[in-house]
Chains A and B, each alone.
Chain A
Amino acid sequence: MASRKKVLLKVIILGDSGVGKTSLMNQYVAKKFSNQYKATIGADFLTKEVMVDDRLVTMQIWDTAGQERFQSLGVAFYRGADGCVLVFDVTMPNTFRSLDSWRDEFLIQASPRDPENFPFVVIGNKIDLENRAVSARRAQGWCHSKGDIPYFETSAKEAINVEQAFQAVAKNAMAQESDVELCSDFPDPIKLKDDQAKPRENCAC
């Protein structure tokens, strides 16, 4: 058995109301789809254990309400996120146009260490529906302009590509994590060191 020391990855799912955030989460974690999910109120999360590059990782996937006014409280959950999944509905162009503000808001509120390289994934959901209104090309264009965010087209209903999208965010988050893992565990000593180093140099004079 692999090492029992677990790594926890916190992943936030964001996007407009009704794009399928809860459905994606449930499809990924429990392999279930229901037409009868209720609009999410407040916040909830599910956890799933996955193997990423031979490491046992616990993904804690957060689902929040999509309506704008609930964000003022929802942002409390952004901080400490290791990855973020931005979701839009390929049949609703306005949900695609919202991605910009979801991404910006997330970066402002979560203030990750390295916003440029923060592990985002974009999901265009509901490709099982026939009335698509946002082309893959357009979505990819946007993702490219934001620093090559990986783009996945999914159907939570038909379980298409869902696994891959979340696996990608887990993998990218782990890649980031291993870079910062050691300093993130104990940021204080690093700061202390900086402070101490200077006077010592001064003393040498």
Chain B
Amino acid sequence: MASQNEVLFAKDSVYIHINVQDTKDKDAHIAGRVYLMKKPEGNFIEWKAEECLSHDIQNDEWDVIGSVGFRNDRDSECVSMNAKMDARRKYNISFDVLDLKSFKRNAPNHSWAYIIFILKDGTTFPALHFHNGGSKALLKELETFIHIRRSPNDQRLFIVHDHDPEMLSKSFNELSIFSDSSSAYVQKFVSEPHKGFPKKFMKDPYTATMGGFSKVTNFLRDNFMAPENLTRPQSEMAEFLHEDIPGMEISNLDEPGFEMVTKTKLPPRPVVKRSEHLELAKWNSFFDSDGTISQVEEVKEIIFRGGVDPAIRSEVWKFLLGFYDWDSTTKKRQEQRKRKVDDYFRMKLQWKTISSEQERRFTLLKERRGLIDKDVMRTDRTHKFFSGDKNPNLQVLYDILMTYCMYNFDLGYVQGMSDILAPILVVMENEVDAFWCFAGAMERVCHNFEMDQNGMKVQLSQIHKLMQVYDPELCAYLESHDSGNFYFCFRWILIMFKREFHFHEIQRLWEVIWTDLPCQNFHLIISLAILDSEKSTLMENKFGFTEILKHINDISLSIPLDDTLCKAEGIFLQLKEFKKLPKAVKEVLGLLPVPVSQSMENSVFIGSASNTDVKSQDSASRVDTPQLMGGISSSSSISVNGSRSSHSLGGKQNSIIDEGSKILT
């Protein structure tokens, strides 16, 4: 097979960067070679990792034909050569140039040029960095096959013009509508009974003929007006989305023919800058003689602006996540910690001491155990903290999640929770601390996981509200492309962008978000900021529902964190200064005073533990860690770390959480 392929262009030293920050990591950049290749089935752009090149050529594995799929699963660490090669191979790229929809090329002055290819179905490949030049030469070669136009709105974006005369004439022939005999169309189908057409024609010649004409209309429209080859018919997507997501508020553009684009005149976006992270010396300077933090707001401001030095993260996060109260003294913190240790092990004993006999009659717990079992095995296994078979940290992950089931039995375990726990456990390196910090982090997002998914629906519609004001043009575009429900942001919101950023970045992002600056819904504005950066790509490629979703999924791990944070803060300030900001948006941004009546009780979740039939047992026969024994406390009060009551979503959200507490699966 390989012999049939003709290489039209090849360039070495083309890299995929999988770890942007850690330049010392030799696996951070994967070297490879990019090709433009003529194959029997078409012209392909391919990229292969160097490690795979010699091997694959020998094995004649050139043709991963047609699989234009690519999946984000990028960080990796491997043991054996073979595994390493497998890991490398997953980055391999191969696609037909006719599937190319657009690309972004960035050629900064002092750095390597890179190209990001985007396919018609929205598939977005990781950036190819040309360390040794060649990006321009590749595009030049490419231009012999496709027409490229630069976006007027985004200098880096190039759109491929669908222009394939061969395809045009062929399709006309296929339709047979312009052939000599006017009856050719009919004859064609009569002579091809397998098409199932003649039956219809005999029964209903009028419809069939009109259908034929409408086919021409469709054809003309598809080829001359909107070159969207693989989109679903509008009728299949248009209305059902909001039918199927009850409770979502979607303002539809009833008349797609009318332009409803109104420009909001927002004040100009102020330039904001990030700063240095919070360091040990600075952190220490905030404590007074009895160990109380003197200027809490200033501490938060520093964290918001620059994050926290990883060296002191485990301490600082305990404050951010309510493990310690911000106004506590050293003495009080010691007490708090002791009580939390006791409480944790008491709850851990609750599930640890359930016999298999009991569990047979406790389906709910058994099901949750099964889910946790599965998810622990597939949570951040590429991170060295969790990698390798029989890694003891997997057990800790498991124990914390099981104990959380006991702590918040009403909610139980829902997929995505292990994603939230993993970065916290990596920072804390201690089971009890990680548990309580996880519980604190969950307080902020637990409404995302409730049975009715209302928390998610509310937030997605809040993004919609914000977008309507911030960028009506993009908003109208998304609405008219079946994406007004912002479902494509689902993963972002559910687990706070966990899958969208690299591990070290997510820790930074979360500590920024946990400061609740400049408002409690800053994560929604971050969503706006990312979408703002993708606006040209989405709109100029004329992406529809599926392509938007695909593109948004695929930009994961390639979103620049600091730029996004700066942009998000800028957008917040713009909106805040905007005089005609609707009340609903002010509410989302926390610019209205929150009504006092809404005291979001954490007790809702505490109470649940005592509602279960599980009793704390004194017999500790099944406890395998002896030191746990010392920690067992007879106290039944669980101190809840949540000094922060999570009315993060404004008034509306509170009622949802109250309702959610009733749910018991």
Contacts and interface: CB of A to CB of B under 8 A. Distances in A.
Interface in B430-466: 449-453, 456-457
Contact of A179 (B196, B246, B452): B196
Contact of A73 (B211, B235, B245): B245
8 contacts: A30-B71, A36-B73, A41-B419, A41-B499, A67-B415, A189-B207, A189-B211, A193-B207
A118 to B, nearest CB: 15
Contacts of B235: 187
B453 A69 contact: yes
A39 B375 contact: yes
Nearest to A177: B196
Contacts of B65: 49
B546 A45 contact: yes
Given A18-B374, A69-B414, 18 more contacts: A4-B164, A6-B229, A17-B371, A32-B89, A34-B86, A37-B73, A47-B123, A49-B67, A69-B450, A73-B487, A76-B240, A79-B236, A182-B200, A182-B211, A185-B218, A189-B214, A193-B204, A193-B207
A190 B232 contact: no
Contacts of A45: 546, 549-550
A60 B210 CA distance: 30
Given A4-B170, A178-B196, A75 B491 contact: no
B167 A46 contact: no
Nearest to A89: B374
Contact of A10 (B197, B232, B379): B232
B232 A80 contact: yes
B623 interface: no
Interface in B149-206: 164, 166-167, 170-171, 174, 194-197, 200, 204, 206
A187 B64 CA distance: 38
Interface in A41-56: 41-50
Interface of B: 41, 64-71, 73, 76, 86, 89-90, 121, 123, 164, 166-167, 170-171, 174, 194-197, 200, 204, 206-208, 210-211, 214-215, 218, 229-230, 232-233, 235-237, 240-241, 244-246, 367, 370-371, 374-375, 377-382, 414-416, 418-419, 449-453, 456-457, 485, 487-488, 490-491, 494-495, 499, 546, 549-550, 553
Contacts of A58: 230
A73 to B, nearest CB: 6
A48 B73 CA distance: 19
A94 B95 CA distance: 40
Contacts, number: 187
Nearest to B166: A4
Contact of A182 (B197, B206, B236, B381): B197
Contact of A29 (B69, B194, B415, B495): B69
A26 interface: yes
A189 B211 CA distance: 7
Contacts of A100: none
Given A5-B174, A185-B218, A69 B451 contact: yes
Contact of A30 (B67, B174, B371): B67
B378 A193 contact: no
A1 interface: yes
Contacts of B210: 186, 189, 193
Contacts of A36: 73, 76, 378, 381-382
Residue among A34, A178, A183, A187 with max Cβ neighbours from chain B (10 Å) = A34
Nearest to B87: A34
Contacts of B246: 72
Given A182-B211, A193-B207, A35 B381 contact: yes
A3 interface: yes
Given A73-B245, A185-B214, A26 B71 contact: yes
Interface of A: 1, 3-6, 8, 10, 17-18, 26, 29-32, 34-39, 41-50, 58, 60, 65-67, 69-70, 72-73, 75-76, 79-80, 94, 109, 178-187, 189-190, 193
Given A49-B66, A58-B230, A73 B453 contact: yes
Given A42-B494, A44-B553, A60 B230 contact: yes
B490 A73 contact: yes
Nearest to B122: A45
Given A179-B196, A182-B197, A193-B207, A67 B414 contact: yes
B218 A47 contact: no
Contacts of A29: 67, 69
Nearest to B217: A186
Nearest to B42: A1
Most buried by B among A10, A70, A184: A70
Contact of B167 (A4, A47, A182): A4
Contact of A47 (B121, B377, B499): B121
A69 B371 CA distance: 13
The 3 closest A-B pairs by CB, nearest first: A46-B69, A49-B66, A80-B236
B101 to A, nearest CB: 13
A178 B195 contact: yes
Contacts of A193: 204, 206-207, 210
A166 B90 CA distance: 21
A60 B232 CA distance: 11
A184 B211 CA distance: 10
Contact of A79 (B230, B237, B490): B237
B236 A3 contact: no
Contacts of A185: 211, 214-215, 218, 233
A99 to B, nearest CB: 17
A17 B417 CA distance: 14
B77 to A, nearest CB: 10
- Considering residues A10, A67, A187, which has the most beta carbons from chain B within 10 angstroms of its beta carbon? A67
Contacts of B414: 67, 69
Contacts of A34: 73, 86, 90
Contact of A181 (B196, B453, B456): B196
A172 B211 CA distance: 25
Given A8-B232, A48-B69, A73-B245, A41 B237 contact: no
Nearest to A179: B196
B65 to A, nearest CB: 8
Contacts of A31: 64, 67
B195 A38 contact: no
B174 A3 contact: yes
A79 B207 contact: no
Contact of B490 (A26, A41, A66): A41
A36 B452 CA distance: 29
Contacts of A32: 86, 89-90
Contacts of A73: 245, 453, 456-457, 487, 490
Contact of B41 (A1, A50, A183, A190): A1
Which of A38, A72, A184, A193 counts the most B-chain CB atoms under 10 A from its CB? A38
A38 B230 CA distance: 28
Most A-side CB within 10 Å, residue of B167, B415, B419: B415
A37 B375 CA distance: 10
A8 B544 CA distance: 15
A39 B419 CA distance: 9
A4 B370 CA distance: 47
Given A30-B64, A193-B207, A38 B200 contact: no
A43 B549 contact: yes
Contacts of B415: 17, 39, 41, 65-67, 70
Nearest to A190: B207
A3 B553 CA distance: 31
